[in-house]
Amino acid sequence: MEIKVLTDILEANDAIAEQNRKKFDESNVVVFNLIGSPGAGKTSIIEVAIRKLKKKYRIGVIEGDIETSRDAERIAKLGVETLQINTQGGCHLDANMIASALTGFPYQSLDLLFIENVGNLVCPADYALGEDAKIVVISVPEGHDKPAKYPVIFRNASLMLLNKMDLVPYCDFDVEAMKQDALNVNPDLDVIGISCTTGEGAEEWAAWLTERIKRRKSRG
Ligand code: MG
Ligand code: ZN
Protein backbone atom coordinates (compact mmCIF):
# COMPACT_ATOMS: atom_id res chain seq x y z
CA MET A 1 0.00 0.00 0.00
CA GLU A 2 2.73 2.43 0.95
CA ILE A 3 4.55 1.64 -2.28
CA LYS A 4 1.42 2.43 -4.28
CA VAL A 5 1.12 5.83 -2.59
CA LEU A 6 4.74 6.70 -3.39
CA THR A 7 4.26 5.61 -7.02
CA ASP A 8 1.19 7.85 -7.33
CA ILE A 9 3.08 10.84 -5.91
CA LEU A 10 5.99 10.32 -8.29
CA GLU A 11 3.66 9.88 -11.27
CA ALA A 12 1.83 13.11 -10.45
CA ASN A 13 5.21 14.84 -10.05
CA ASP A 14 6.45 13.50 -13.39
CA ALA A 15 3.39 14.88 -15.19
CA ILE A 16 4.09 18.39 -13.85
CA ALA A 17 7.82 18.01 -14.59
CA GLU A 18 6.88 17.24 -18.20
CA GLN A 19 4.94 20.54 -18.39
CA ASN A 20 7.95 22.40 -16.95
CA ARG A 21 10.23 20.70 -19.49
CA LYS A 22 7.93 21.78 -22.34
CA LYS A 23 8.16 25.40 -21.17
CA PHE A 24 11.95 25.21 -20.95
CA ASP A 25 12.17 23.60 -24.39
CA GLU A 26 9.96 26.26 -25.97
CA SER A 27 12.24 28.94 -24.54
CA ASN A 28 15.45 27.11 -25.49
CA VAL A 29 16.79 27.24 -21.95
CA VAL A 30 19.04 24.42 -20.73
CA VAL A 31 18.22 23.42 -17.15
CA PHE A 32 20.37 21.57 -14.62
CA ASN A 33 19.23 20.17 -11.28
CA LEU A 34 22.15 20.17 -8.81
CA ILE A 35 21.92 17.59 -6.06
CA GLY A 36 24.33 17.01 -3.18
CA SER A 37 24.65 16.88 0.61
CA PRO A 38 24.60 20.05 2.73
CA GLY A 39 28.06 21.61 2.47
CA ALA A 40 29.11 19.71 -0.68
CA GLY A 41 29.62 23.07 -2.40
CA LYS A 42 26.63 23.31 -4.76
CA THR A 43 26.32 27.07 -4.45
CA SER A 44 30.08 27.59 -4.88
CA ILE A 45 30.07 25.43 -8.00
CA ILE A 46 27.24 27.52 -9.46
CA GLU A 47 29.23 30.67 -8.65
CA VAL A 48 32.24 29.28 -10.54
CA ALA A 49 30.05 28.60 -13.59
CA ILE A 50 28.50 32.07 -13.47
CA ARG A 51 31.90 33.79 -13.29
CA LYS A 52 33.14 31.77 -16.27
CA LEU A 53 30.05 32.06 -18.46
CA LYS A 54 28.04 35.18 -17.62
CA LYS A 55 29.61 37.28 -20.35
CA LYS A 56 28.60 34.74 -22.98
CA TYR A 57 25.26 33.45 -21.75
CA ARG A 58 22.21 34.66 -19.86
CA ILE A 59 22.12 32.65 -16.65
CA GLY A 60 19.50 32.24 -13.93
CA VAL A 61 19.42 30.35 -10.64
CA ILE A 62 16.57 28.92 -8.58
CA GLU A 63 17.77 28.14 -5.05
CA GLY A 64 16.01 25.49 -3.00
CA ASP A 65 16.55 25.56 0.76
CA ILE A 66 14.56 24.53 3.81
CA GLU A 67 14.99 28.01 5.33
CA THR A 68 16.76 31.33 4.61
CA SER A 69 17.63 33.12 1.39
CA ARG A 70 21.40 33.11 2.05
CA ASP A 71 22.33 31.16 -1.06
CA ALA A 72 20.12 33.31 -3.30
CA GLU A 73 21.72 36.44 -1.82
CA ARG A 74 25.19 35.04 -2.62
CA ILE A 75 24.20 34.30 -6.21
CA ALA A 76 22.34 37.58 -6.76
CA LYS A 77 25.58 39.45 -6.00
CA LEU A 78 26.95 38.06 -9.26
CA GLY A 79 24.25 39.91 -11.18
CA VAL A 80 22.15 37.03 -12.48
CA GLU A 81 18.42 36.36 -12.16
CA THR A 82 17.88 34.56 -8.86
CA LEU A 83 14.89 33.16 -7.04
CA GLN A 84 14.75 31.46 -3.64
CA ILE A 85 12.30 28.68 -2.82
CA ASN A 86 11.95 27.82 0.87
CA THR A 87 10.48 24.37 1.34
CA GLN A 88 9.57 25.03 5.03
CA GLY A 89 10.98 21.72 6.18
CA GLY A 90 10.59 19.83 2.91
CA CYS A 91 13.69 17.76 2.12
CA HIS A 92 13.53 18.05 -1.71
CA LEU A 93 12.17 20.28 -4.46
CA ASP A 94 9.29 18.91 -6.50
CA ALA A 95 8.01 19.82 -9.95
CA ASN A 96 5.07 21.76 -8.56
CA MET A 97 7.36 24.10 -6.59
CA ILE A 98 9.26 24.81 -9.80
CA ALA A 99 6.03 25.33 -11.77
CA SER A 100 4.90 27.92 -9.20
CA ALA A 101 8.31 29.60 -9.18
CA LEU A 102 8.27 29.94 -12.97
CA THR A 103 5.19 32.16 -12.92
CA GLY A 104 7.30 34.95 -11.39
CA PHE A 105 10.67 34.19 -12.94
CA PRO A 106 11.84 35.34 -16.40
CA TYR A 107 13.22 31.95 -17.48
CA GLN A 108 12.17 32.66 -21.09
CA SER A 109 15.06 35.08 -21.51
CA LEU A 110 17.76 32.66 -20.25
CA ASP A 111 20.24 30.35 -21.97
CA LEU A 112 21.08 28.43 -18.82
CA LEU A 113 19.13 27.80 -15.62
CA PHE A 114 20.57 26.14 -12.52
CA ILE A 115 18.21 24.69 -9.94
CA GLU A 116 20.05 24.07 -6.68
CA ASN A 117 18.13 21.39 -4.83
CA VAL A 118 17.79 21.08 -1.04
CA GLY A 119 20.98 19.61 0.46
CA ASN A 120 20.16 15.90 0.47
CA LEU A 121 21.50 12.95 -1.54
CA VAL A 122 18.40 10.79 -1.16
CA CYS A 123 14.91 11.86 -2.30
CA PRO A 124 15.86 14.70 -4.71
CA ALA A 125 17.18 11.89 -6.93
CA ASP A 126 13.62 10.63 -7.46
CA TYR A 127 11.84 13.91 -8.23
CA ALA A 128 12.06 15.17 -11.81
CA LEU A 129 11.72 18.95 -12.04
CA GLY A 130 11.75 19.29 -15.84
CA GLU A 131 15.54 19.54 -16.04
CA ASP A 132 17.75 18.49 -18.97
CA ALA A 133 20.05 16.70 -16.58
CA LYS A 134 20.82 16.09 -12.94
CA ILE A 135 24.29 16.93 -11.67
CA VAL A 136 25.49 15.23 -8.50
CA VAL A 137 27.94 17.20 -6.37
CA ILE A 138 30.09 15.19 -3.96
CA SER A 139 32.91 16.66 -1.90
CA VAL A 140 36.10 14.91 -0.88
CA PRO A 141 35.57 15.16 2.93
CA GLU A 142 32.30 13.23 2.59
CA GLY A 143 34.24 10.05 1.76
CA HIS A 144 34.49 7.83 -1.31
CA ASP A 145 31.75 5.39 -0.33
CA LYS A 146 28.86 7.51 -1.64
CA PRO A 147 28.17 5.76 -4.99
CA ALA A 148 27.83 2.43 -3.21
CA LYS A 149 25.62 3.83 -0.44
CA TYR A 150 23.44 6.21 -2.51
CA PRO A 151 23.35 4.61 -5.98
CA VAL A 152 20.10 6.21 -7.21
CA ILE A 153 21.46 9.72 -7.63
CA PHE A 154 24.56 8.40 -9.42
CA ARG A 155 22.35 6.35 -11.74
CA ASN A 156 20.08 9.34 -12.52
CA ALA A 157 22.81 11.98 -12.92
CA SER A 158 24.61 12.90 -16.16
CA LEU A 159 27.60 14.50 -14.45
CA MET A 160 29.41 14.00 -11.16
CA LEU A 161 31.33 16.99 -9.88
CA LEU A 162 33.89 15.82 -7.36
CA ASN A 163 34.41 19.00 -5.34
CA LYS A 164 37.11 20.13 -2.87
CA MET A 165 39.84 18.27 -4.77
CA ASP A 166 42.36 20.49 -2.94
CA LEU A 167 41.54 18.50 0.24
CA VAL A 168 42.54 15.10 -1.17
CA PRO A 169 46.00 15.18 0.53
CA TYR A 170 44.31 15.67 3.92
CA CYS A 171 41.53 13.10 3.59
CA ASP A 172 41.41 9.36 3.38
CA PHE A 173 39.90 9.54 -0.10
CA ASP A 174 40.65 7.25 -3.03
CA VAL A 175 39.74 9.29 -6.12
CA GLU A 176 40.14 6.45 -8.62
CA ALA A 177 38.12 3.97 -6.52
CA MET A 178 35.36 6.56 -6.09
CA LYS A 179 35.22 7.21 -9.86
CA GLN A 180 35.17 3.49 -10.57
CA ASP A 181 32.32 2.92 -8.10
CA ALA A 182 30.33 5.74 -9.69
CA LEU A 183 30.94 4.39 -13.20
CA ASN A 184 29.93 0.91 -12.08
CA VAL A 185 26.55 2.36 -11.12
CA ASN A 186 26.30 4.50 -14.27
CA PRO A 187 28.78 3.88 -17.12
CA ASP A 188 27.55 7.02 -18.95
CA LEU A 189 28.34 9.37 -16.05
CA ASP A 190 30.71 12.24 -16.86
CA VAL A 191 33.15 13.03 -14.06
CA ILE A 192 34.94 16.30 -13.34
CA GLY A 193 37.22 16.92 -10.36
CA ILE A 194 36.93 20.52 -9.20
CA SER A 195 38.13 22.90 -6.51
CA CYS A 196 36.39 26.22 -6.03
CA THR A 197 39.43 27.33 -3.99
CA THR A 198 42.26 26.58 -6.44
CA GLY A 199 40.28 26.79 -9.68
CA GLU A 200 41.11 23.20 -10.62
CA GLY A 201 38.50 21.83 -13.04
CA ALA A 202 36.74 25.18 -13.54
CA GLU A 203 37.58 25.28 -17.27
CA GLU A 204 36.36 21.72 -17.73
CA TRP A 205 33.10 22.49 -15.87
CA ALA A 206 32.50 25.57 -18.01
CA ALA A 207 33.29 23.57 -21.17
CA TRP A 208 30.83 20.82 -20.18
CA LEU A 209 28.07 23.44 -19.75
CA THR A 210 28.99 25.26 -22.97
CA GLU A 211 28.77 22.01 -24.91
CA ARG A 212 25.26 21.42 -23.55
CA ILE A 213 24.13 24.97 -24.34
CA LYS A 214 25.50 24.74 -27.90
CA ARG A 215 23.85 21.39 -28.45
CA ARG A 216 20.51 22.91 -27.43
CA LYS A 217 20.92 25.96 -29.67
CA SER A 218 21.82 23.83 -32.69
CA ARG A 219 18.66 21.80 -32.08
CA GLY A 220 16.75 25.10 -32.27
MG1 MG B 1 23.75 25.96 -1.23
ZN1 ZN C 1 12.62 14.65 0.39
Confidence band of 7 (pLDDT split at 50, 70, 90)? confident
Q: Per-residue pLDDT tens for 18-50?
A: 999 999 999 999 999 999 999 999 999 999 999
Q: Per-residue pLDDT tens for 185-197?
A: 999 999 999 999 9
Domain holding 103: CATH number?
3.40.50.300
Number of domains in the chain: 1
State in Å, rounded, how far the first CA of the chain is from the last one. Answer: 44
Q: How far is the CA of 215 from the centre of ligand 2 (A)?
A: 32
Share of the chain above pLDDT 90, in %: 93
The ligand that comes nearest to the alpha carbon of residue 40 is: 1
Q: How far is the CA of 2 from the centre of ligand 1 (A)?
A: 32
Q: How far is the CA of 75 from the centre of ligand 2 (A)?
A: 24
pLDDT > 90? residue 182: yes
Q: Tell me which residues have their CB within 5 A of the ion that is ligand 1.
A: 42-43, 71
pLDDT > 80? residue 220: no
CB atoms within 10 A of CB 15: 11
pLDDT for the residue 1 = 55
pLDDT for the residue 150 = 95
Q: In terms of residue numbers, what domain contains 81?
A: 2-219
pLDDT for the residue 2 = 63
Q: How far is the CA of 149 from the centre of ligand 2 (A)?
A: 17
Q: Per-residue pLDDT tens for 110-136?
A: 999 999 999 999 999 999 999 999 999
pLDDT for the residue 29 = 97
Q: How far is the CA of 197 from the centre of ligand 2 (A)?
A: 30
Q: How far is the CA of 98 from the centre of ligand 1 (A)?
A: 17
Q: Per-residue pLDDT tens for 197-214?
A: 999 999 999 999 999 999
Mean pLDDT of 92-114: 97
Q: How far is the CA of 118 from the centre of ligand 2 (A)?
A: 8
SS3 letters across the chain: CHHHHHHHHHHHHHHHHHHHHHHHHHCCCEEEEEEECCCCCHHHHHHHHHHHHCCCCCEEEEEEECCCCHHHHHHHCCCCEEEEEECCCCCCCCHHHHHHHHCCCCHHHCCEEEEECCCCCCHHHHCCCCCCEEEEEEEHHHCCCHHHHCHHHHHHEEEEEEECHHHHHHCCCCHHHHHHHHHHHCCCCEEEECCCCCCCCHHHHHHHHHHHHHHHHHHC
The ligand that comes nearest to the alpha carbon of residue 91 is: 2
